[in-house]
Structure 1
Amino acid sequence: MGSSGSSATSEFPVVADPAAPAATPAQVAEPEHRPSGFARLLIFVGFVFALLVLSCFGLRAINVLPSFDNPFADQTTDRSQPVLLESMRDLHRYVAADGTFQVIVDLQENRDNIPDFLVNRRTLFVGSGTVETYVDFSTLAGDALKIDEEKKTIELTLPPPQQSSASLDMQRSYVVAEERGLFDRIGDAFRDDPAKQQRVYQMAQEKITEAARASGLDERARENTQRMLESLFARLGYTTVTVTFTSP
């Protein structure tokens, strides 16, 4: 058979050579992943914020910026009203002696025919208070002072020393223990009765005031008053000062 002028080329599928080496992962083209514009913006903002924080701490370390306060620290606000002056008076007394006393008040309140575990209130209170003993010069009569300029003598007739009521020191007074019955605890959960607490304070004041009367404060007040007047008039040139206290 004759051959044509242009040789025909047969196309066959290309078969990979099994002996050829496999392509490495580096030779395989991978798709390129780049962060989106929003992600790059977040990264930039975070970097700037961190830079600002580090700069502030650095300036604080060299005492350029003031120290930062805790934003969640406890705060106390004083909303008290201004102090009002209710009264004013002149004092004409000389406080000659005072005494500090301590008393333990054991007050129990219960009801008859009711068990203590139901209705009972027992308060153990330690009260500390001060009692003053003074001489009131405002009650002196016209003839209470007798002066002899030639002999340089003075005779004084004074009223007896008086004793003030006990003044409790609340910084040194405290409740040691308090027992309450079941019904009392339930009632206290719904109401507060400051009168009961005031009753304990009043008892402590009364007991301290009564104890001060038997403590010898009056005698010490007489001695201190006499020494004070003798020293005062001795500086004025008087040689003899006689102080007499009237009977209570």
Structure 2
Amino acid sequence: MSLRVRDLHVGYATARVLNGVEFDIADGQSVALLGRNGMGKTTLVRALCGLRPPAVVSGSIEYDGVDICRMPVHRISRAGIALVPQGRRVFGSLTTLENLNVVSRRRAADSDDPWTIERVFDFFPRLAERSGSMARSLSGGEQQMLAIGRALMTNPSLLIMDEPSEGLAPSVLDVIQDRLAGLRSSGLAVLIAEQNVDLALDIADHVLVIDDSGTIAWSGLPEALRGDESLLERHLSI
């Protein structure tokens, strides 16, 4: 599976946010989307997943050769795209185990090693310990683990994450970062929209930087961005 975005223009009722965004994500590639607050990262994530608002004004989003630009959310999910939303948004009235079971899905394109409850619990042992706890009672870090595990239970071929490090304590962030690095080596394609530049550069093999014009202002290798102080200052205020 691969994602191909071309000349994408996206807006809300009162404002255009994205203007001519173009990029590709290849099978198994890990891509970081960076940019200051308000540049359109979450808008792009929502557009890719078919969430409304915003609305796609023009352009194309092709996934595995099919234009998904105006597909309903459930069909995009069934095509193999999973979202870990900003703010986690776990089902608070369900247990950890129920959160995972309720979205469980096997797809025809599944690998020989699909994501199951047991595999998610191996990936995040803390979730196994809290399997019977209501999701609302979990810590922020545990809820983030659950949000990632829940997305993996749909057995996606592309995992999109919106600000996965937001609000996490450093010790928990270390665990999340280690697990995300593990996903990178598993062959799963990943797009991570992040404010934490160090985290993003550590786990990605390609970087996109979005600017205040709503376009991709820079695209390249993490090492190139990390070594260019003027670029970091201009686009990310670092």
TM-score normalised by length of structure 1: 0.21
Larger radius of gyration: 1
More helix by share: 2
TM-score normalised by length of structure 2: 0.22
Bigger relative contact order (CA 8 A; separation at least 6): 2
